[in-house]
Every structure is written in C-alpha cells, then in structure tokens.
Amino acid sequence: MGYKNRENKKQKFNPHKAIMIGDSFLRGIREIVELSISNKFGIYSLLKPGCKLNTLLQSANGESGSLTHKDLIFICGGANDFNSDTEEPTIDHIQEFIKSNKHTNIILANVPLQYDLSYHSQVNKRIRSYKQELLEIIKDHKQAAQIKTDIDRKYHTRHGLHLNKLGKLLFSNKITQTIYSTLGKKLEQSSLASNKLGIQGGENKVDGRNSDQGHTDSKKNEDAMKSIPPKVSLL
C-alpha cells in the first residue's frame, strides 16, 4: 500500500483505521498524532510533496474501498493548486469524492493562507473563496468534517508556507480532537445499542465537529502547545 504505519511488534489488531494523505504540509504530523491517539487506531499515512489536490483524491479513492463507518480518511492538500500559474482546486472533485465514499468518514483540511504573500494578494483571496465553498459542501454531508488550518503566523516557518514545530503540535492536536469527535460519537451511539463500545476520558471529548473550538485566540493556542494531548482509550 505504500503507507507508513505505527510499529506493532505484536501485530495487534486495530479495530479502527485512520488513513492520512497529504502534501508536504502533512510532513511530521502522523508521528505526533500517534503519540496522542489510542492504540485502538491503526494509523497509516501517505505523503506526496508537491502534489495537487486531485492527485491526492485519486490516491484516497484507491484506498477508501476497504474502509467502513468505523474508520476514516484524512486529506490535507490544495496549497499547490494555488500557484500563480495554476488553477485552484475544482470543488466538484471534492464533492464527487465525498459522495462516492459515504461508507466511511472523511476529514478534509482546508487550505492555509500563504503568509509569504499579502493577506490581500490575489492568491490569498482565491484561497479564502475556496475555503468558503468547501465549508458549504461539508455542511451537506454528515460523514464529512473539516479541520481549519488557520494558525497564527508565529507557528509557521520563516518563509511562511509550512508549520514550525509548535505549529505541527497544534495542528496534530486539532487532528486528534477531530478523530475523536468524529469516531467517538459513532462509538458512543454503538455503545448505547450494544453496551460493548464507549469512550473513557471525558476531558478529551470534543463537542461538535468543528476542530477549532477551544482554540479561538492566541492564549488558548499557547496553552495547547504546553503538552501533547494525553491518550484516550476506546473500550
């Protein structure tokens, strides 16, 4: 499959699979997520630096067939589509991908603004417009969720295109929270029906599907950086 996954010497079965596919913005994120995610999850990642979003969606389609409602696929890409000499991602491709994968959960990261350019540059205007369109699509599909990549400039590298170490921790925290808010709800519903599945560690439970809750200002961003979120166990 070509994915990196957590090392498992005992070959223990993971009842939940999380596949992470992205461009270079995702570099180093999987390892941090693994530190805070329950070992009930098998974490797989595929990094394709420089790829456009449609290429990432094609890769995701190639692997999503084996996933179920107990799994999820996370896609982080689109920034490479906003170069001055290329067209922005076609929103129809995203909508088609979501519609053709209703059997599993989908998490999409929006495209971050480019801090090496002016906020009012044409590229960043196009990115803001695209993000709004993506948000509208997400609202129409209950199996899809969105992670906002809008993180303060200080959490980016000097050139402004990628996250620095603190930024990667913050972004990884958002991913972890969204995984639990997405799959945790489904497992909780299943627990009520079968009394076999559930969630422990209420402090880590996230209400709603917006991963930005609790990170609305710089003070809370800094608090989130103090430690990697503790593990949460899924019974």
Question: Residues 18, 74: contact at Cβ < 8 Å?
Answer: yes
pLDDT digits (tens, 9 = 90+) for 28-40: 888 899 888 877 8
Q: Which carries the bigger pLDDT value, residue 103 or residue 1? A: 103
> Which residue ranges form the domains of the chain, and what is each CATH number?
4-224 (3.40.50.1110)
Is a pLDDT exceeding 90 seen at residue 198?
no
Beta strands (DSSP E) in the chain are: 4-5, 16-22, 41-47, 72-76, 105-109, 144-147
51 contact partners, CB below 8 Å, separation of at least 6: 23, 77, 80
pLDDT digits (tens, 9 = 90+) for 127-142: 999 999 999 999 989 8
| Cα distance between residue 56 and residue 5, in whole Å | 18
Whole-number pLDDT of residue 105: 95
What's the mean pLDDT in 137-166?
Answer: 87
Whole-number pLDDT of residue 190: 47
